[in-house]
Amino acid sequence: MVYTSEGFTWTPSAGVSHGLPTIGAVDPPTFFASSKDQIYDVIVVGAGYAGLVASRDLSTQGKKTLLVEARDRLGGRTWHSTINGFNYEMGGTWIHWHMPHIYREVSHYGLQDDWVVTQVPGGKEDYCTLTTGEQQRNISHEEEADLCGRVFRIFCNLDGNDLREKWKYVFGTKLDPQFAAEWDNLSCSDRLNQIRNQLSPEELAALEAQLVQMGGNSPDKIGFLNALLWWSLGSHTGTGLNEIALHTRLASGQSELHRRIFEHAASTGNLSYAFGYPVKSVQDKNGLVTVIARDGTAWKARSVICTVPLNVLADVQFSPSLPVEKVEASKMGTANLCNKVHIDVQGPDYLSWGSLASPGKGLVSAFADQLTPADNTHLVSFGPDPKSSLGIKLDNIDRIISAFKHLLPAEKRDEVLVNRIVAHDWNNDEFAKGTWLFAPPKLTTKYLEALQRPHGNVYFASADWSHGWRGWIDGGVQSGMEVARDVIQHQKAASNNSDGRAQNSRSQSKL
């Protein structure tokens, strides 16, 4: 298996090792279906889900397409590493048949039976550990669902009807502007202050822990409108979001699906690709767009689809310059700067365990996600922005272990042995600068439409500004599909207009 230069693993015996094995690594890194100097129909910048789906849809429609990727692998902010027979999802992970766009891809490539369920019952430690300050108690998963669902509902139920009418069509684009603006002006902290007197200290702590896990930052930094979007996507119920979005993943891993989409596109003979080429600039002039890599390599196309994440969009030089709204949105960026850490502990006892903590000591949650082939428990843990007062940096293994053990029942901390840590530092990744999108206050109503608009012959696709499952894998697939369609239609219309002008010119010449 080929290694990517990204990510790291730690074990007590070997220490830290950088770079991880993954089927997502592309070797050889470049391929040109014809002359590398040709003028392409479309250049797609970025090989995450949006870029892969766009490249596939374009190439299968006969478009000569070049896929340019800064990394040495497929997947962008989603990819998995296989270590000793176990798949560790480094970024986006959980998908579900209630996510229509990604499920279409799963079914299309024959993976509809390829499911793994997170946090299965039957383990020895089958409960949730709830830590609130210095207080701690273990509750059943039924109690956990009741508590977390109840407080999340209080948080989101603005109208006494769970937004079932006010935000009925969550995939639509016509949310009442008055409601959107009102809700988007609030942070999650603002909303907590409105309902604080309805909650006990434990209930408040459980809700805060959920919000920090969702938004990857303190509640004052994350937007209330984004939380309401997730509530509505979860079928307007307190536990719906977790049942859909934190329940099932692909057994073969996200990189397997990336591979199938990529190889489908390549099989058409219309796809060229260049991995390991960070893009420096995009220049739209005289009907052609030139994409220039940092090393000076340049390619030309009639159209470009740019899929770089929101937080790095302003790092690419555009000519003509991007509209000010796009630049401002990129500089505001996602509020989500979380850490995601895989932790394997010795033995199978914690197969069914989970935890929430507020405040945590670097991590606010952990939950079991299957056993490794060595019969050890694999756990996934989340923590807030490393630069926040309650965050930790991923370059300190001792602090990661200490933060994790704080989530355990106090009487068991000394007996639990950590035998592997796996992670990717997304916040120090220059091509991501953060994780999934969770919008800060005001970003959505002020900038979403501007982020979706093309700029001349340059189009933009990303989960960060999709409709529906915005910030999720499904949103990336949806955005890539929709923008590829727009480019195909635009080029068809331009070709028809050109043919019409040519015919008219020939007719006039005969007069």
CB 189, CB 219: distance < 8 Å: yes
CB 222, CB 471: distance < 8 Å: no
Residue 69 in marked binding region: yes
Q: Rounded CA gap, 432 and 452, in Å?
A: 19
CB 424, CB 91: distance < 8 Å: yes
The strand pair at 354-358 and 365-371 is best described as: antiparallel
Residue 382 in marked binding region: yes
Residue 44 in marked binding region: no
Residue 279 in marked binding region: yes
Please give the radius of gyration of the chain, using alpha carbons only, rounded to the nearest integer: 24
How many residues are present in the chain? 511
Residues whose CB is less than 8 angstroms from the CB of residue 247 and which lie 6 or more positions away in sequence, other chains included: 94, 96, 117, 118
Q: Rounded CA gap, 372 and 114, in Å?
A: 17
Q: Rounded CA gap, 344 and 370, in Å?
A: 10
Render 399-452 in DSSP notation, one character per residue. HHHHHHHHHS-GGGTTT--EEEEEE--GGG-TTTSSSS--PPTTHHHHHHHHHH
Residues whose CB is less than 8 angstroms from the CB of residue 109 and which lie 6 or more positions away in sequence, other chains included: 257, 260, 261, 264
Residue 185: other Cβ atoms inside 10 A: 14
Would you list which residues are annotated within the binding site for substrate?
382
- Which residues belong to the annotated binding site for FAD? 69-70, 279
Report the binding-site residues. 69-70, 279, 382
